[in-house]
Amino acid sequence: MSSTNVFDLFRLDDRVALITGGSKGLGKAMALALAQAGANIVINSRSQSDCDRVAREIANEAGTACIGVAGDVALEESVDELFRKVTDRFGHLDVVINSAGINLRHPVEEFPFDEFRRVIDTNMVGPWLCCRAAGRIMKPAGKGSVINVSSTLGVVGLPERSAYSASKSGVNGVTRSLAKEWAPFGVRCNSLCPGPFLTEIMEPLLKTPDKVKSLLALTAMNRWGELHEIMGAALFLASDASSYVTGSELYVDAGWTC
């Protein structure tokens, strides 16, 4: 029987975590969770002012170092610069949560191609670019955890979500491939798949109460997720509590996929 205290497995003291899309919604909640567990945090979004504001909030609440670094995850040069700034500041990188994402909704016949490409570039190309940059740092270090934020819609469908579902299915494929590729180097890669949380990305649905009712009825609990309900799952995948977990899809979806 191990003498390890189970609560110690969830500690992230002295580790560095980068959260893309970390200035709002699920990304912000997950960043706070990791900071409360002791991690130093890098908040990324496209707005430097938003990054700085949230970084100050988290630093004040959690008492760990937290900085903001703006950048567009859909652009190769921007991603490479983001990761360079992280290592220049902290010297190492232990956790990446790829949370930046958008969701544009149209019937497929009316879906503008430029909007389809925006969703794919942000939701799938962005995580791939960040995974590539993370691997270049984590593999030589022999450790690391990458969490790709996917979605229930990576495995189930909804009308008018063809771009979003395609992007999230792609994220799950990237996760499985990299889990195999990185395992010999001590680096883990998992997908975190939320169901319906009432974040900014979901607010357009509130204009159509019937659609909200139908959406929530797909879950066993028949309700929106609350932001704190993503925090434990993110901390689990980021920490040593999940040291034997890679290539997994962890669903936090109120029973939608059951």
3-state secondary structure of 20: strand
Contacts of 219 (CB under 8 A, 6+ apart): 195, 196, 253, 254, 255, 256
Q: Would you state the structure tokens that stand for residue 134, as one six-digit string?
A: 């993370």
CA 183 to chain centre: 20
Contacts of 188 (CB under 8 A, 6+ apart): 144, 145, 146, 179, 182, 242, 243, 245, 246
pLDDT digits (tens, 9 = 90+) for 17-51: 999 999 999 999 999 999 999 999 999 999 999 99
240: buried, middle or exposed (CB in 10 Å: 19+, 13-18, 0-12)?
A: middle
Q: Which of 10, 90, 116, 164 is catalytic?
A: 164
251 part of the active site: no
pLDDT digits (tens, 9 = 90+) for 86-127: 999 999 999 999 999 999 999 999 999 999 999 999 999 999
Domains and CATH numbers, the chain: 6-251 (3.40.50.720)
Neighbours of 65 (CB within 10 A): 16
**pLDDT, mean of residues 205-216:** 87
Closest by CA to 149, choosing from 189, 202, 92, is 189
pLDDT band at 2 (very low <50, low <70, confident <90, very high): low
